[in-house]
């Protein structure tokens, strides 16, 4: 199909705007990465741009050897991995029955789920409830309230509703039970949607900050997000976290150590996302379109 001059101009403007927007997101990350890999003199003098000067990994060594970042990294992995598993399990258990036309009162239950998207109990009642249940200072205070995200559950429910009814009828005729139908037919066909929802939950738990500050009081249970934020916020807090001596800290610029912490925080999501990205658009679009 022939493209008109107006369409060419429209596409050109779109490419320029999107390119500038991409650079505005990419350049700060490259600057932080360069600072984390530059030597002390370059960082202190403020000469570092998007390319490391005096390449070295001293900031990473100081951060790993002198701070509890490895423990925080482990906490983040535990929090995220268990959170994804629990949330996907309970979201699936809620979405699949609500997608079946034979399920009694599914419309009323769906409205109840949607109601929670608009009205919530609030922070103070949630904390009082978690405290009364003995969940404070445990990760269950973060997992239980977020077991089912109404938005994610509705996407999954819509996806299941779009599966052909003839496929289910054929499976029933072959003697396929409910659990077999779910495990051998529904789930394999739902890989794009499952990967997308798992990515949503993974980002939520990996970046958990406010909830951790509210419910977790022991610093040894802090996740990576909270630890890095506190290090970035104040150099004095950075010195409290590290076990290095003051004369050793002078060898490592605080800005370089902070930048190394930010890169360690970002890298897992940057590494995982390319493997999930191919499912992302397909999973969201199929689950969002009803027809």
CA atoms within 13 A on the CB side of 134: 0
d(C-alpha 98, C-alpha 152), whole Å: 13
Q: What is the pTM of this model?
A: 0.82
Q: Give CA separation, 235 vs 169, 232, 239, in Å.
A: 64, 7, 6
Instruction: Summarize the confidence of residues 213-239 as an average pLDDT.
Output: 80
Dist CA 59 CA 82 (whole Å): 31
pLDDT at 284 over 60: no
Closest CA to 193 of 116, 279, 95, 88: 279
Report how far residue 211's alpha carbon sits from residue 140's, in angstroms, rounded to the nearest whole number. Answer: 11
pLDDT at 83: 94
State yes or no: pLDDT of 274 exceeds 70.
yes
What integer pLDDT is reported at residue 206 of this predicted model? 93
pLDDT higher than 50, residue 287: no
The pLDDT of residue 276 is above 90: no
Is the pLDDT score of 289 beyond 50?
Answer: no
State in Å, rounded, how far the first CA of the chain is from the last one. 28
Closest CA to 96 of 177, 166, 178: 178
Q: In sequence order, which residues have a C-beta less than 8 Å from that of residue 203 and are 6 or more positions away?
A: 269
Confidence bin at 290 (pLDDT 50/70/90): very low
Q: What's the chain's average pLDDT?
A: 82
Query: What is d(CA 137, CA 214) in angstroms, rounded to the nearest whole number?
Result: 9
- pLDDT band for position 14 (cuts 50, 70, 90): very high
Q: How many residues does the chain have?
A: 291
The predicted-structure confidence for 138-177, as pLDDT tens digits, reads as follows: 999 999 988 888 888 988 888 888 888 778 778 788 777 7
Return the higher-pLDDT residue of 244 and 180. Answer: 180
Residues 116-145 have a mean pLDDT of 88
Helix-strand-coil split of the chain, %, nearest 5: 75, 0, 25
Name residues whose C-beta falls within 8 Å of residue 59's C-beta, 6 or more positions apart in sequence.
Answer: 36, 37, 252, 253, 256, 257, 259, 260
Residue 36 has pLDDT above 90, yes or no: no
Predicted confidence at residue 291, as pLDDT, reads 42
Provide, rounded to the nearest whole percent, the portion of the chain with pLDDT above 70. 88
The CA distance from 86 to 82, in Å, is 6
**What's the pLDDT tens digit per position in 80-118?**
999 999 999 999 999 988 888 888 888 888 888 888 888
How high is the pLDDT of residue 80? 94
């Amino acid at each position: 199909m022939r493209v008109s001059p107006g369409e060419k101009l429209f596409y050109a403007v779109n490419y320029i705007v999107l390119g500038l927007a991409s650079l505005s997101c990419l350049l700060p990350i490259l600057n932080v990465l360069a600072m984390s890999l530059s030597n002390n003199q370059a960082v202190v003098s403020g000469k570092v741009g998007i390319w490391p000067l005096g390449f070295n990994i001293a900031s990473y060594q100081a951060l790993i050897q002198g701070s509890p970042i490895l423990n925080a990294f482990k906490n983040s992995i535990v929090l995220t991995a268990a959170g994804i598993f629990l949330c996907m399990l309970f979201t699936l258990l809620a979405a699949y029955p609500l997608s079946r036309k034979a399920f009694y009162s599914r419309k009323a239950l769906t409205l109840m789920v949607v109601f929670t998207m608009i009205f919530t109990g609030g922070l103070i009642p949630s904390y009082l409830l978690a405290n009364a249940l003995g969940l404070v200072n445990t990760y269950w205070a973060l997992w239980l309230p977020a077991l089912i995200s109404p938005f994610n559950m509705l996407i999954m429910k819509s996806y299941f509703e779009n599966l052909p009814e003839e496929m289910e009828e054929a499976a029933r005729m072959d003697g396929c039970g409910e659990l077999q139908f779910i495990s051998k037919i529904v789930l394999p066909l739902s890989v794009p949607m499952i990967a997308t929802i798992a990515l949503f939950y993974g980002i939520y738990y990996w970046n958990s900050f406010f909830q951790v500050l509210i419910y977790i009081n022991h610093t040894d249970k802090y996740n990576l997000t909270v630890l890095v934020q506190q290090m970035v916020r104040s150099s004095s807090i950075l010195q409290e976290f590290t076990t290095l001596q003051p004369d050793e800290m002078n060898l490592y610029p605080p800005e370089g150590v902070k930048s190394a912490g930010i890169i360690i925080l970002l890298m897992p999501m940057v590494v995982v996302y390319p493997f999930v990205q191919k499912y992302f658009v397909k999973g969201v679009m199929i689950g969002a379109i009803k027809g």
